Amino acid sequence: MLRAGDTGGAFRTDPPSWLDPGYRPANGSQGWPVTRGSLTATDLHVWMFQSSRGDLTSDWSVLGAAERVRAERLVHAEDRTGFVRGRAMVRRILAAYEGIEASAIAFTAGEYGKPVLLAAGSVHCSWSHAGPVWLLAIASGGAVGIDIERVDADFEWHGPADIAFHPHERRFVEQSADGRSGRFYALWTRKEALLKGLGTGLHDDMAALSIVNASGVMCDTVLTLGGACWQVVSLDMPPGYTGAVAADFAIARVTAFVPVEADLSLSLQRSRAVPKPAGSIVAERPWIK
């Protein structure tokens, strides 16, 4: 976790060891502060932060009633702390874009539980976490989905792949002689991000959808039966993690932000242009709407 410096209470502006050195302070000429107006229709902002232990009073105070109930049901203190801190930070970041207090952020849920900001005209968002590392995707141009997984090189991926992967995807993983685990996580995060964006979530028909075509290419776009084009992008992640984001619009640029502690104005950022998608796949199943 980014920490205050040892002298004078100053905050470090150099990236810690778990971040790519390309991160720089997000201030002044780099377009800070972030607001809804800073998002174009083709921009995607991804916030990455770590939940930490500590005094939960301020974090608890911004949560909604349903979030508090969910937190109280968590048996392990570490899980409860991570949930409260993570969801509080999600609210604070979204509040910066919406121009309201974090406690005023209100969510509704889609048919399969996808959270959506309740106020009309709000930004689109999606979040995911693997242990203490959280990702939050924010866009104004359309719906988004995001996923992060902690990479375990010894994970027995065959079982989940047999259930959730299309035959094209299983062949894609199996054909890698030295990077099967890496290919599995790359596919899984892309697929879960897409399904979260669509609002269907994980279900028994996951294997009906492939993001690898018959030629064995992991494609960047999926065309739904309704003609919508979803773009899927793998994210630059700290060592040991894999992440991906999906959007129902053409993504021109992804800007990643990392807040220093809870002070969003001291965030670090890294931005990169997204190349034109390498290929597309037309969906064949009617549950993709």
Question: pLDDT tens digits for 123-137?
Answer: 999 999 999 999 999
CA geometry: angle at 227 spanning 224 and 228, to 5°?
70
Predicted pLDDT of residue 279? 62
* Residues 225 and 283: beta-carbon distance below 8 Å: yes
| Domain parsing of the chain, residue ranges | 24-282
Predicted pLDDT of residue 232? 93
Predicted pLDDT of residue 169? 92
Q: Is 72 helix (H, G, I), strand (E, B) or coil?
A: helix
For the packed helices 180-198 and 167-174, what is the interaxial angle rounded to 10 degrees?
150
pTM confidence score = 0.86
Predicted pLDDT of residue 53? 59
Predicted pLDDT of residue 19? 61
Structure tokens at 44: 């995607």
What confidence tier does 154 reach under pLDDT thresholds 50, 70, 90? confident
Question: pLDDT tens digits for 98-107?
Answer: 989 999 999 9
Is the pLDDT at 175 greater than 60, yes or no? yes
Q: Between residues 176 and 44, which one has the greater pLDDT?
A: 44
Is the pLDDT at 13 greater than 50, yes or no? no
**Which candidate, 255, 243, 222, places its Cα nearest to that of 44?**
255
The CATH number assigned to the domain with range 24-282 reads 3.90.470.20
Is the pLDDT at 193 greater than 80, yes or no? yes
Range with lowest mean pLDDT among 59-63, 146-150, 206-210, 225-229: 225-229
Question: pLDDT tens digits for 36-65?
Answer: 777 899 999 999 988 875 568 889 999 999
β-bridge mates for residue 162, sequence order: none
The contacts of residue 54 (CB under 8 Å, 6+ apart) are 81, 85
